[in-house]
Amino acid sequence: MITGNIDGIKKVMLDKIENLFELTIDNDKVFSYELVEQMNEISGIIKKELCVVINRRGKIEGISVGKIDSAPIPSIEVSSKKLSGFRVIHTHPSGSSTLSLLDISALIGSKLDAIAAIGVQENMEDIKINIAFCDIYDNNLTYNELKNLSLEASLQLNFKNKVDYIDKIIGSINTCEDQVERAILVGTDTEESLEELAGLAEACNIVPIDRIFQKKNKVFSAYYMGQGKVQEIANLRQLRNANLIIFDDELSGSQVRNLEEAINCKVIDRTTLILDILARRAKSKESILQVELAILNHKLPRLRNSNANLARIKGGVGLKGGVGSRGPGEKKLETDRRHIESRIEEIKNEMSKVLERKAVQKVKRTKNNISKVAIVGYTNAGKSTLRNKLCEISASDNISKEGVLEADMLFATLDTTVRAITLSDNRKITLSDTVGFISKLPHELVEAFKSTLEEVIEADLLLHVVDVANEEAIKQIQSVNIVLNELNAKDKNTIIVLNKIDKACQGNLDKVKDFLKGEKIVEVSAEKGINLDQLLHLIEREIPNKLVEKEFIIPYDRQKFISMLHEDASVINKNYTENGTYIKALVNEEIYERCADFEVKTL
């Protein structure tokens, strides 16, 4: 049976094509002279590609007219450790024998014994043929192409020995489809954004094996990209043996479904990838709840699209369809929606309990009038390292507390951690490390982490940490400012901390400083401990002084005031006198009023 585009082909030519089924090819040869001769003649007349599929017994199993993707190639399991047992011979009416990406994709995707392209010519002597075989390189399925062969040279190839050898080595591949996710990254914004997407993928233990970038101004509603580019992605996926496609922009549910059907592969977007990373990183109860809330909020509007293929039953009586109007698909959709909405409410209730506990701690800090400093910045800028180093230098007590995770990875920190440090003037401040920001940060993620980011909203001073060694530092600063603006924290008193100066080139450093002209800047290396004393002095200068230094003599029968000063003030000096306990301390207005009767009056 002949498949493909046979419209407009005369019956006499169809009969000639049908007669090709009677030919038998020698098992040692890719094809026979007679087959090439007849295919060249027919293709030259009908001006269309002609494609034949031959099994290892030398029998022609299928013939198609048109592009190779219409050829009746039997399917084979991708995980199979052997070749399919079929070879494909097709013509190129243009006269060129070059194998296209589509041809190579068919070779690897179907694990063909071989694929050959015949450049159609008037004279048989002028014909050139390209033949490609599967091959193995670095434990991956690839191909080896023989180019511009004459017909005579092509017929001299020992096809059987070649295929037997490939069949033997292909069994040695350690299949990784189920163990390792191998991704092709697709971007339409900037090359830098695509590079960041690669970092996000690696943070999720995904191996980026190739990239496709296309600058575009138009978004296609069905596939996000044009169908030609989607076909290119599908071909590259087969060629590189990828099992995941990651888009650098947010996709709708219908776009994901359409792309997965067209590419025959799992497709995710940047938002899904970020949420997956956060789900892996979340450790505390609060961060786990926040991530789950973000995932459910992301999933809820996509339910209808993801279940669009479920059955719908129309009809029924009444304004809303009545009895029989809901099919099994719609019932499942509603069940899923109710389940998600119910879980969202549960999470919000659990979150309110967590926030109540945090509020108790916050009230105590507010009561003590302790100034709050929040560290913000792009993910992987070095915020956690800076916070740990500052705590080492200026710990407010001798109690050893665990530092936050320092790692060269995106989103290493999810939970806001608050520690107290003591400045050189004996004032205590709290230092909080926050989740890293990133470009194209999903709105539902900002919403979910708002309770965590409250430390930013309520801070008296922000330390905006910038990885000045990164060539995209300016864009990262702009991305952080966008999120700060969304939190209504853009106009807060801020120190820009240019981190990693030990790794930065002078040109990039100058460019960033020029961009930040007029801002309060300090250059440091948190990892090496460079200029951290300068940063602490600048923090002292910028933090509002809410405490005043006072001296008291507390009678020995009023010891509860001494306990209060130790608990709610910063004691500088303490001595025992005849009249009572002498204490010099930094106190807030409330504590001063309660201890005013014991103040030492100076002349």
Q: What's the pLDDT score for residue 173?
A: 61
* Residue where a domain stops, chosen among 542, 563, 588: 542
Can you tell me the distance from the alpha carbon of 243 to that of 150, in angstroms, rounded to the nearest whole number?
37
The answer to whether residues 411 and 358 belong to one domain is no
Q: Comparing 78-92, 156-170, 228-242, 351-365, which segment has the lowest mean pLDDT?
A: 351-365
Residue type, 541: R
The answer to whether residues 82 and 136 belong to one domain is yes
Question: Two tokens at 447?
Answer: 């919403």
Confidence check: pLDDT of 310 > 50: no
Choose between 63 and 487: higher pLDDT. 63
Q: Rounded mean pLDDT of 161-187? A: 77
597 contacts: CB under 8 Å, gap ≥ 6: none
Pick the closest to residue 245 from 210, 220, 271, 279 (CA basis). 210
* Residue where a domain stops, chosen among 496, 524, 542: 542
Confidence check: pLDDT of 40 > 70: yes
Confidence check: pLDDT of 373 > 70: yes
Considering all CA atoms of the chain, what is the largest pairwise distance in Å, rounded to the nearest integer?
Answer: 126
Q: Rounded mean pLDDT of 44-66? A: 91
The answer to whether residues 144 and 192 belong to one domain is no
Can you tell me the distance from the alpha carbon of 373 to that of 522, in angstroms, rounded to the nearest whole number?
16
Q: Where are the beta strands (DSSP E) in 401-469?
A: 417-422, 428-433, 461-467
477 belongs to a structural domain: yes
Q: What's the pLDDT score for residue 417?
A: 66
The answer to whether residues 6 and 100 belong to one domain is yes
Full residue range of the structural domain in which residue 300 is found: 282-311+325-362
Contact 343, 399 (CB under 8 A): no
Report the CATH number at residue 401.
Answer: 3.40.50.300
175 belongs to a structural domain: no
The answer to whether residues 237 and 196 belong to one domain is yes
Q: What are phi and psi of 212, to 5 degrees?
A: -130, 125
The answer to whether residues 247 and 374 belong to one domain is no
Contact 114, 30 (CB under 8 A): yes
310 contacts: CB under 8 Å, gap ≥ 6: 327, 328, 329, 330, 332, 333
Q: What's the pLDDT score for residue 408?
A: 44
* Distance from the first to the final alpha carbon of the chain: 114
Can you tell me the distance from the alpha carbon of 338 to that of 407, in angstroms, rounded to the nearest whole number?
39
Helix 506-515 × helix 473-486 angle, to 10°: 30
478 belongs to a structural domain: yes
448-458 pLDDT per residue, tens: 565 556 667 77
Confidence check: pLDDT of 169 > 70: yes
Q: What's the pLDDT score for residue 147?
A: 93
Contact 51, 31 (CB under 8 A): no
320 belongs to a structural domain: no
The answer to whether residues 158 and 17 belong to one domain is yes
The band of 413, judged by pLDDT with boundaries at 50, 70 and 90, is: very low
Give the count of beta carbons closer than 10 Å to the beta carbon of residue 361.
Answer: 11
The answer to whether residues 88 and 41 belong to one domain is yes
Q: Long-range contacts made by residues 358-367, C-beta under 8 angstroms, separation at least 24? A: 358/286, 358/451, 361/418, 362/458, 365/430, 367/568, 367/590
What 3-state class would DSSP assign to 328? Answer: helix
Q: What's the pLDDT score for residue 281?
A: 67
Contact 456, 489 (CB under 8 A): yes
603 belongs to a structural domain: no
The answer to whether residues 130 and 235 belong to one domain is no
Q: What's the pLDDT score for residue 35?
A: 95
Choose between 432 and 418: higher pLDDT. 432
Q: What's the pLDDT score for residue 78?
A: 47
Confidence check: pLDDT of 20 > 90: yes
176 belongs to a structural domain: no
The band of 396, judged by pLDDT with boundaries at 50, 70 and 90, is: low
CA 385-388-389 angle, 5° bins: 85
Pick the closest to residue 466 from 508, 431, 430, 414 (CA basis). 508
317 belongs to a structural domain: no
What 3-state class would DSSP assign to 466? Answer: strand
The answer to whether residues 84 and 189 belong to one domain is no
557-572 pLDDT per residue, tens: 888 898 888 877 778 8
* Mean model confidence pLDDT for the chain: 81
For the chain, how many structural domains are there in total? Answer: 5
Q: What's the pLDDT score for residue 603?
A: 52
Pick the closest to residue 389 from 465, 456, 455, 283 (CA basis). 465
If you write DSSP's letter for every residue of 342-375 in order, what string do you get?
Answer: HHHHHHHHHHHHHHHHHHHHHHHHHHTT-EEEEE
The pTM (predicted TM-score) of the whole model is 0.61
Confidence check: pLDDT of 260 > 70: yes
The answer to whether residues 519 and 568 belong to one domain is no
263-293 pLDDT per residue, tens: 888 999 988 888 887 777 676 777 788 888 8
Helix 285-299 × helix 270-281 angle, to 10°: 160
Report the CATH number at residue 200.
Answer: 3.40.50.11060
Can you tell me the distance from the alpha carbon of 468 to that of 473, in angstroms, rounded to the nearest whole number?
6
By residue count, the chain amounts to: 603
322-344 pLDDT per residue, tens: 444 444 555 667 787 888 889 98
* Residue where a domain stops, chosen among 279, 302, 337: 279
316 belongs to a structural domain: no
Contact 88, 106 (CB under 8 A): yes
The answer to whether residues 530 and 398 belong to one domain is yes
